Amino acid sequence: MLQSDSDVLTDPKSSSPDTKKRRARIRSNGAAEPQKLQEIQQFPKWARLPIHRVEAAGAPAGFAFAAGAGLALLDQILRSCANGSSVGEKGGGGGDEPVFAGALRQRLALRAAAACAALLRLREDDGALRDAEHLAGFDAAPTPGARLHRLWRLFATRQGQNNARLDAAFMRTAADCLELPPHIDCEALTALLQEESTRENPVGSAARVSAASLQSMSDAPQIDAEIFAVWLADLVLARRLGWAAPLPLLATTIMHPSMRTATGRRPRPSDPDWSVCVARATARAAQEAYALAAELSRRSAMLSSVAPKLRAKKAARVVDLLLADDCVSPARAAKAAGLSDRASRRLFDRLIELGAVRELSGRANFRLYGL
């Protein structure tokens, strides 16, 4: 099996009948028809977050406008695929998510986890969080940072379930990632989200849900409860916008030093101006997510363009993994695609050579690859 894979990889000019048949079979097992990606234009200046402090006159209106404009532009990207109408049917117009939506969602999850880890004064940075998620053994106990990362990666499991199965069990799964007390009323939190998902102002709903949920978790550790409240805010925002699955947005920016108030405090859901802070942080998060989406769109287009050149058996499955996640290890790719470890490593070497993926760990061993 290993020899057979290597023959195809290292003998590109072979034209024997068996090789031709095999290449034809590989192509037939290959990637589906590539999605036609629309070019994402530069984020317009008129939609950028104004440079105002929260306390400045007129700042709330400016933040609200920027948040709405940023979310609308991000919404266009999330409905930019014209292959179907499932999202549009739920959300009120547009198509399916682009092929890189999974990578976008999980890379934002990494950013959110890193921001929350810093708030909790954990030692894990981006690289450590990636290693804990993608390289740890199945029987290894997750570190606090790994549980935090899984909290945000849970959003990807909501794909196609925007208006279904928002239940207490899902809430409890998320709360367990933060080791919140078992007596937290997840039924009440679910009812709160469902009620706020019907309100007209999505950003306002996100602010109200986070503030109200924090009050209901008064006996939980304060910072853990704040992180959970922000997680709930992103969840209700996505439901209100009709997205196929939530994007981690608010946590990526609300704890940034630039979001601090005039007194130097970071915003908290219990603050009286919390709704203004949420609008400001959402505007910045949408702008940054838009830029990340543009970058991933270019990289996914490059990956899709070189996919037909890949001769490794079942390479299309590896391409799908790369488009769906922040990063992929060769071992995971080998297991998912039914490749040998050697063939998997050669495939990633080939993708690097073609400029289709990047090596993200910076190590010689235990490497991780992604867009």
pLDDT, tens only, 211-224: 999 988 888 899 99
What pTM was computed for the model?
Answer: 0.84
- Work out the widest C-alpha separation in the chain, in whole angstroms: 75
Distance of alpha carbon 119 from alpha carbon 153, whole angstroms: 18
Q: Is the dihedral of CA 335, 340, 345, 347 positive or negative?
A: negative
Q: Give the pLDDT score at 30.
A: 45
pLDDT at 304 over 70: yes
pLDDT at 238 over 90: yes
Where does the pLDDT of residue 257 fall: very low under 50, low under 70, confident under 90, or very high at 90 and above?
confident
pLDDT tens, 159-169? 555 445 678 88
Distances in whole angstroms, Cα of residue 45 to Cα of each of 116, 162, 250, 282: 29, 31, 21, 16
Q: Give the pLDDT score at 348.
A: 93
Backbone angles phi, psi at 136, to 5 degrees: -70, 150
Q: For residues 260 and 25, is the Cβ–Cβ distance under 8 A? A: no
Structure tokens at 44: 């317009």
pLDDT at 34 over 80: no
Distance of alpha carbon 54 from alpha carbon 40, whole angstroms: 31
Question: How would you class 141 by CB atoms within 10 Å of its CB: exposed for 0-12, middle for 13-18, buried for 19 or more?
Answer: exposed
pLDDT tens, 62-74? 899 999 999 999 9
Q: Using alpha carbons, select from 275, 270, 233 the residue that is nearest to residue 252.
A: 233
The residues facing 369 across adjacent strands are 328, 359
pLDDT tens, 97-149? 899 999 999 999 999 999 999 999 998 899 999 999 998 876 778 889 999 99
Where does the pLDDT of residue 51 fall: very low under 50, low under 70, confident under 90, or very high at 90 and above?
confident
Q: Is the dihedral of CA 207, 49, 251, 102 positive or negative?
A: positive
Q: Give the pLDDT score at 199.
A: 83
Q: Give the pLDDT score at 278.
A: 95
Q: Give residue for tokens 């935090």.
A: 148
Contact partners, residue 9, CB within 8 Å, separation at least 6: 311, 312, 343, 346, 347, 350
- DSSP code at position 199: S
Residue 328: helix, strand or coil by DSSP?
strand
Q: Using alpha carbons, select from 242, 220, 266, 10 the residue that is nearest to residue 116.
A: 266
Average pLDDT over residues 282-310: 92
Distance of alpha carbon 294 from alpha carbon 238, whole angstroms: 20
pLDDT tens, 265-277? 889 998 998 999 9
Average pLDDT over residues 185-205: 89
